[in-house]
Chain A
Amino acid sequence: MFAFQNFLCAIPVLRLNSGVATAFQIHAADNVATLLEDGAESSVVQVVGAGSGEIRLSNAMPRGHKVALREIGAGEPVIKFGVRIGHALELIPRGAWVHLHNLASDYDARSGSLDLRSGAPTDTSSAYV
C-alpha cells in the first residue's frame, strides 16, 4: 500500500503563478498532471504539487484534463495518484494530452468509444433515430 498513506503529505503548499497555467501533480510517481486552467497549444505550464518544473503543451487542452509529464510507451501504465489508471494505447510524447484517444481503462471497454471532447456515447446513436 503506497499511494494513500503518502497521499496527503504529498501535496505541499502551492504558489499561484499569475498568467501561467498550472498543472497539478498529485503523487511523485505520477506520469500525468491535471491542468488547473485551460492550456493553449504550445504554451508552457508550471507543474505544481508533488512535482515541479515547466512543460510545453503539444495540444490545447481544457482545465481538468491530463498532460503527460514524460514519454509513455504504448502499453505502458498511466500513473495518477501514484496508481495505475489504465494503459497507453500508443506512444504518448511528453507534453501531450492524455485522454480517451490514447489511454484505455483496464476494465471498462465502452469508454474507448465515447466522443473525445464531450464524452457522449457513440455506440447507442442508432437508438435516437
Chain B
Amino acid sequence: MSDLQTSWTGYLRADGRKGVRNLVLVIYTVECAQHVAHAIATDEEDTHVIGFPGCYDNAYAIRLMLALARHPNVGAVLAVGLGCEYIQPEKIADVVRASGRSAEWFFIQQQGGTTRSVNLGKQLVARMREQIRAETTRVPMTLADLTVGCECGGSDGTSGLAGNPSVGAFFDLLVDAGGRAIFEETVEMIGLREHLLARAASAEARQQLADAYDKAERYCKSVRQWSVSPGNFAGGLTTIEEKSLGAFAKSGSRAIQGVIRVAEAPRGPGLWVLDSVPDEHFMQFGYTNPNDTEGIMDLISAGSQIVLFVTGRGSVIGSPIAPLIKVTGNSATYRAMEEDMDFDAGRVLTGELTMAQAGRELAGLVARVAAGEPSKPERLNHREYFIMYKHQNTPALEAGCRA
C-alpha cells in the first residue's frame, strides 16, 4: 500500500502538465532527413528522435508529431527538414514554441549538407538541453499526475491469463488514485460489444464506445482480417472473441470515461479507450496497428508519460519520449530475457502472487520509473518509433496539449 502513496519529483511544463523525463526531441520531416537527425542525436544525453518518412504530408501524421513534440516528457524540440518536402519544420517549431517550449528548426539544403547540419544540430541540442536542465521547474508528482497507456504484443496464452489482468489490477489502482489510464486496440474488442458498452461511465461514453466498436467491426469485415494470427492459434487461442477477452483484461474493471483519438489527450481523469482505427475516407488508406510500435506511439501521443507493454513471447522493443515498461505473464520468458523484461506477472499463475498483489507491485515499479529509474528498454537504448500515413478525422489542435 505504501507504494501507492509514493511521490517523486517531475518536470512542470508551461501548459501545466508534468513530465517524468526532461528530453530534447529531434524531429525529421521526411525520410531524406532521417540520417542527419539520428547523427545529431548520437551520443547526446536525453535526446530522442522521431520522424515521418513520407514526402507528401498527411494531417494525421502531422497531428501525431505535434502531439509528441508537446509531450509532457519533452522540454525542447529541434525540427530538421531536407528542404523540399511538404511537412514544414518551421511550422512544427512555431506550434512547439506556442506551448511554452524552446524549439529550433533548419533545412539541410540551406545549411550546406550533412556535416554542417549535424554540427549545427548538435550545437542547438546542447544549448536547449542546458537550458531545460537549468530552467525547468521541478514539481512533486503522484499517481494522480500520471497518464499510463497499455499495449500488448508478441502475446501468448499467458498474456490473457496473467499479463493483461495484472495491468488491469494496476489500472484500477491508478484510476482510484485519480490518474488516467488508456488502452486501445478496438479491433481486439470484436465480440465484446455488450461487455464494452456496459462499462461506459455515461450515456455519452456509451455512444462513443458503440461508434468506435462498430467502426472497428466494419473495418475488420471490409479488410477480411481480424486481429488474430497463426501464432495465436498455434498457442491455443481459437476465436477472435477469445483473444479479445484476453486483450480486454488489461482494462481492469473501472468505468470507461469515453473514447479519444490518436494525438488527443484524455478529457479528464479515469479510464479511456484510444481509437486508432482509420476513419472512413475516400482513399481507404492506413492500417489500424501495423505493428506494436505504432500502437505505442499512439498511446504516447495521448500524453502517456509511461507505457506498459505486455508480451508473453518476449518482445525486445522500447520507445522514445515515454519509458516503456515490459510486463510478461510468462515466467520462462522473464527468465530467458531478463535484460529486456521489467515485470514477471507469471508469478500469478504459479501462486506466488495474487492478481491484486501483482497490481500493487506494478504500481510501485511505475512510480520508481517515473522517479527516474530507467526501465529495461531505456537501459538498452531501445527507442523504436513508427509514424505512417493514416486518415482520422482531425481533432482540435488544442486537444493534444490539454492538461
Q: Which residues of A contact B (CB under 8 A)?
A: 1, 3-5, 7-9, 11-16, 24, 26, 34-36, 62-66, 80-81, 83-86, 98-100, 103-108, 110-111, 114, 117-121
A80 touches B242 (CB 8 A): yes
Q: Does B281 contact A (CB under 8 A)?
A: no
B191 in complex: contacting residue of A1, A4, A107, CB < 8 Å:
A107
A104 touches B239 (CB 8 A): yes
Interface segment, one of B109-117, B192-200, B272-280: B192-200
Can you pick out 22 interface pairs between chain A and chain B where the beta carbons lie within 8 Å of each other? A3-B195, A8-B168, A8-B359, A11-B165, A11-B355, A24-B161, A35-B236, A36-B349, A64-B236, A66-B238, A84-B241, A98-B238, A99-B233, A100-B238, A103-B238, A105-B238, A106-B239, A107-B220, A107-B240, A110-B224, A111-B240, A114-B230
Q: Does B299 contact A (CB under 8 A)?
A: no
Q: Does B251 contact A (CB under 8 A)?
A: yes
Which B residues lie within 8 Å of A85 (CB)? Answer: 191, 238-239, 241-242, 245
A13 touches B239 (CB 8 A): no
Among residues of A, the one whose C-beta sits closest to the C-beta of B172 is A8
Report the separation of the CA atoms of residues A15 and B354 in the bound assembly, to the nearest whole angstrom. Answer: 12
Report the separation of the CA atoms of residues A63 and B157 in the bound assembly, to the nearest whole angstrom. Answer: 8
Among residues of A, the one whose C-beta sits closest to the C-beta of B221 is A107
Q: Does B7 contact A (CB under 8 A)?
A: no
Chain A min CB distance to B390 (Å): 24
Using A3-B195, A8-B355 as known contacts, list a sample of 12 further A-B pairs with CB atoms less than 8 Å apart, ordered by residue number in A: A8-B168, A8-B359, A26-B161, A34-B236, A64-B236, A80-B242, A85-B241, A86-B242, A99-B233, A119-B229, A119-B235, A120-B230
Q: Does B234 contact A (CB under 8 A)?
A: yes
Report the separation of the CA atoms of residues A62 and B231 in the bound assembly, to the nearest whole angstrom. Answer: 13
Chain A min CB distance to B355 (Å): 5
Report the separation of the CA atoms of residues A93 and B68 in the bound assembly, to the nearest whole angstrom. Answer: 53
Which A residues lie within 8 Å of B33 (CB)? Answer: none
B199 touches A14 (CB 8 A): no
Binding site secondary structure of chain A? loop
Q: Does B226 contact A (CB under 8 A)?
A: yes
Among residues of B, the one whose C-beta sits closest to the C-beta of A48 is B351
A4 in complex: contacting residue of B230, B232, B235, B251, CB < 8 Å:
B251
B245 in complex: contacting residue of A63, A81, A108, CB < 8 Å:
A81
Q: Does B356 contact A (CB under 8 A)?
A: yes
Among residues of B, the one whose C-beta sits closest to the C-beta of A104 is B239
Given A1-B199, A8-B165, A13 and B238 contact (CB-CB distance below 8 Å): no
Report the separation of the CA atoms of residues A117 and B249 in the bound assembly, to the nearest whole angstrom. Answer: 26
B348 touches A11 (CB 8 A): yes
Report the separation of the CA atoms of residues A98 and B238 in the bound assembly, to the nearest whole angstrom. Answer: 8
A86 touches B238 (CB 8 A): yes
A4 touches B249 (CB 8 A): yes
Which B residues lie within 8 Å of A14 (CB)? Answer: 349-351
Chain B min CB distance to A70 (Å): 17
Interface residues in B205-241 (C-beta closer than 8 Å to A): 217, 220, 224, 226, 228-241
A1 touches B195 (CB 8 A): yes
B351 touches A15 (CB 8 A): yes
Q: Which of B198, B224, B241, B354 counts the most A-chain CB atoms under 10 A from its CB?
A: B241
Chain B min CB distance to A7 (Å): 7
Q: Does B321 contact A (CB under 8 A)?
A: no
Given A85-B245, A118-B230, A119-B230, A107 and B190 contact (CB-CB distance below 8 Å): yes
Q: Does B264 contact A (CB under 8 A)?
A: no
Among residues of A, the one whose C-beta sits closest to the C-beta of B157 is A64
Among residues of A, the one whose C-beta sits closest to the C-beta of B243 is A85
